[in-house]
Structure 1
Amino acid sequence: MSERALRRIPLEKFIDLKVDYAFKQLFGSEQNKEITVVFLNAILQRSGRHAIKEIAFASQEVGGEYQDDKQSRLDILVKTQEEELINVEIQLTNQYDMVKRTLFYWSRIYNSSLQKGMGYNTLLPAITINICNFDVFNQTDSFHNTFHLYEKDEKFRMDDVLEIHFIEMTKFIKLWHQKTLDPWNNLLARWLLLLGMVDARKKKVYNEIYKELEELAMRDEQLQEAFTVWQDLSQSPEEFLAYQSRLKYILDEEAKFDDVKHMAEKKGLEEGRQKGLEQGLERGLEQGLERGLEQGKLLEKEETVKRLFKLSLTVEQIAEATSLDTHAVERIIGELS
């Protein structure tokens, strides 16, 4: 396969596969089922006789069983040949509820397999996969974390019905840039590069990721096929318009969320100060002053981070100088771009 055959459109025309609409068009389509199977096996690290060989796409609507029941729409839901239910969610924006939302989704999927009049032993194993464009767990630098139900002391699994995966794209891209990942020998890394090549929020395309994907696709038939479908989606006027509309909605909602959060914090501070004044509580005043001082110190640290970054100090050096953790430093630096 030549470079010309692979690269049919300018890089800046590629849509961001981390936008749920684009992700579902590639991985949630019946005609791309073989791509989805390879992708799931890469995430679940299954091969040989344990590999997923066949899937059927299921209804994305869960819940709503009762009149006042909350109904949820999943990104992708499939059933495997082994009667496992697998939900894949892609999340571009951090709404700070991913863990609880995941448990809620998992419970709905697990419950959905119980047919009326059937026993609990007929419930099917449910797997949830979350691909997040933000950090979820500060306790680890690993980009892929898997959770099961384990006994506290002896660590044996209670059952195989629950399996939850979190993939943090921010950590993945960082590790790739540090050259600590080898996509040639890591199938999951190969597929995550596909998701990480475009950053719609920053209006940026990583040319160096494209170059590696180009070489990988020459030796990986499924990756090449995914690349072809991705290009076709990016070139379709109808698909591109739908993608842009969805992206605009996500970014608008993100801006609203930030505004509401800022207003709530501001209102809370004002109400706290007013209440402290009205009640004349020394403790309330002290707490208000403490919070004000803490916020002032934080703003000062943020300005310090920006100045040190412009002086070409490393993230680790800046973290050491400001007593911030590296994730906080990276977040502040990220706001500069």
Structure 2
Amino acid sequence: MSDLLDPRNDFVFKRIFGSEENKDVLLVFLNRTFAESGEQPLTEIVLLNPYTDKDAPLDKQSIFDIWAKTVEGKLINIEMQLFNKYDIEKRTLYYWSKRYSSQLQEGQTYKELKKCVTINILNYSFITNERYHNVFHLREDHTGLELSDDLEVHFMELSKLDDQSVPMEGGLINWLLFLKGADKSNWEVLQMNEPTLKKAMDTLEFLSQDREARRLYEERQKYLHDEASMIEWATEKGIAKGIEKGLMEGEKRKAIEIAKNMLSFGIEVSIIAKTSGLTESEVEALKD
């Protein structure tokens, strides 16, 4: 049998958890996630952007996050991050706010807004504690009084599971150990703890043996590696830090000059925009 594909690749992750035929897999994963934050289990989930064959690995229009909605209208966004794109907390709040505000149609009142939950699964460490699953809400500093339940952000850090032994009971940890790598030696125990994991494992094995799926996976893997290398290069050269300082001082010309230099290296517009703080349209304009 071919080597197993890496389930941390967002293309593969969406095939396993974000397709209509595997909606039951997503539901169990979400219930294990929310159980750790004390929420009631979900009975049904609606996929807002299910995987289709149009989700091409190199197409910038393809969204490899998983967007879902509960029957009560709560919105859920799940994102797998194989590499550190930096400023994940600001990026998370930015996209959370867009999803939250986009719910209102003209003439609707604010009370129509439903809770939005973001779940970030990271292949690197970000939170400065030992917990592999951290959950954030809006609460008062001294009393813990909740301002609103509408914001909920989860960070799951797979890198913190390096020394984690396989549990002997069900729960979220089984799902994260499956995602952490394609080591089949623990699969039997993991699926005994979490029976629905067998369907996720079967899907991964099927994809790993499918020639077209492997081709698309390798395209996506190369794209993710190239993107990470570009960001790392820019960071090591001090470009990100220099631009941040320049923008804070109101010296946008510095950001533009550095963006032009990055363009000369053939770096993608989306990467330059994320690194510099300029918009993609501003970067595009620099080409001329």
Bucket of the pairwise TM-score, normalised by the shorter protein: 0.7 to 0.9
Taking the TM superposition and a 5 Å limit, the aligned residue runs for 1:222-301 are 222-264=196-238
Q: 1:50 aligns with which of 18, 21, 40?
A: 40
CA distance in 1, matches of 2:169, 2:90: 34
Q: Is the 8 A contact 1:184 1:190 kept in 2?
A: no
**Secondary structure in 2 matching 1:228:** helix
Shift of 1:92: 0.5
1:157 equivalent in alignment to 2:141: no
Shift of 1:185: 2.0
Q: Return closer, same or farther for 1:223/1:122 CA change in 2, 3 Å cut-off.
A: same
Q: Is the 8 A contact 2:8 2:181 kept in 1?
A: no
Q: Return closer, same or farther for 1:48/1:147 CA change in 2, 3 Å cut-off.
A: closer
Single out whichever of 250-259 and 182-191 deviates more from structure 2: 182-191
Q: Deviations over 1:85-111 (max 9, x none)?
A: 000010011121111110011111111
Q: Deviations over 1:127-176 (max 9, x none)?
A: 000000001112x11111000000121111111101000001101233x1
Q: 2:104 aligns with which of 101, 114, 130?
A: 114
CA-atom RMSD in angstroms: 2.5
Q: 2:127 aligns with which of 121, 133, 137?
A: 137
Match of residue 185 from structure 1: 169
Q: Deviations over 1:22-80 (max 9, x none)?
A: 101111101100000001111111799921111111148xxxxxxxxxx9946011001
User: What amino acid does structure 2 have at the position aligned with 1:214?
Assistant: E
Match of residue 36 from structure 1: 26
**Secondary structure in 2 matching 1:217:** helix
Q: Is the 8 A contact 1:46 1:52 kept in 2?
A: no
Q: Return closer, same or farther for 1:118/1:229 CA change in 2, 3 Å cut-off.
A: same
Per the normalisation by structure 2, the TM-score is: 0.74
CA distance in 2, matches of 1:185, 1:239: 33
CA distance in 1, matches of 2:82, 2:16: 16
User: What amino acid does structure 1 have at the position aligned with 2:82?
Assistant: L
CA distance in 2, matches of 1:109, 1:197: 31
Q: Deviations over 1:234-283 (max 9, x none)?
A: 11111111111000011111112222222336997xxxxxxxxxxxxxxx
Q: Is the 8 A contact 1:74 1:87 kept in 2?
A: no
Q: Is the 8 A contact 1:41 1:47 kept in 2?
A: no
Q: Return closer, same or farther for 1:122/1:248 CA change in 2, 3 Å cut-off.
A: same
Match of residue 156 from structure 2: 167
User: What amino acid does structure 2 have at the position aligned with 1:194?
Assistant: F
1:90 equivalent in alignment to 2:80: yes
Per the normalisation by structure 1, the TM-score is: 0.64
Single out whichever of 182-191 and 251-260 deviates more from structure 2: 182-191
**Secondary structure in 1 matching 2:146:** coil
Q: Is the 8 A contact 2:104 2:112 kept in 1?
A: yes
Q: Is the 8 A contact 1:87 1:127 kept in 2?
A: yes
CA distance in 1, matches of 2:77, 2:16: 15
CA distance in 1, matches of 2:38, 2:139: 26
Identify unmatched segments of 5+ residues in structure 2.
Answer: 51-60, 243-288
User: What amino acid does structure 1 have at the position aligned with 2:178?
Assistant: L
Counting helix residues as a fraction of each chain, which structure ranks higher? 1
CA distance in 1, matches of 2:194, 2:170: 12
CA distance in 2, matches of 1:141, 1:105: 26
CA distance in 2, matches of 1:82, 1:46: 20
CA distance in 1, matches of 2:36, 2:161: 20
CA distance in 2, matches of 1:19, 1:263: 27
CA distance in 1, matches of 2:157, 2:240: 31
**Secondary structure in 1 matching 2:152:** strand
CA distance in 2, matches of 1:225, 1:48: 26
Percent identity of equivalent pairs: 38
